[in-house]
Amino acid sequence: MLNEKFTTHITFTSGDSHKEDPITADQLGSTITRLCDGPAAMMGMIKEVVIVDQDDLTCIHIKGCNIVYPVQLGIKQRVFRKAQKNGQK
């Protein structure tokens, strides 16, 4: 669906939670990057993130700063980070 909306639910390590305004599919990439590699994630403030679609089905599940669902996306994230780390040496 081109017009599908996704809602982001963030749980912080403090126990507080936050629900962001719905976003469109073209904004998913930047949202995932911000929540995995942004300042709050790097400071360890984010405990868990769940991004759901309009039917409340989980599309993305992030723990800490790592994608755990879908598994294929988590694997790509780990491969990318490893390549990035090796490139900095």
CA-angle at 87, arms to 33 and 68, nearest 5°: 35
Instruction: Name, in order, each residue with C-beta under 8 angstroms of 34's C-beta and a sequence gap of 6 or more.
Output: 41
Q: How far apart are CA 25 and CA 8, in angstroms?
A: 12
Mean pLDDT to the nearest integer, 7-25: 96
Q: Please tell me which residue, 45 or 88, carries the higher pLDDT value.
A: 45
> Could you tell me the pTM of the whole model?
0.85
Mean pLDDT to the nearest integer, 21-40: 94
Mean pLDDT to the nearest integer, 56-60: 90
H helix or E strand, kind and range, residue 39 = helix 39-42
Mean pLDDT to the nearest integer, 49-58: 92
Q: How far apart are CA 40 and CA 21, in angstroms?
A: 18
What are the backbone angles phi and psi of residue 35, rounded to the nearest 5°?
Answer: -80, -20
Residue 73 pLDDT exceeds 80: yes
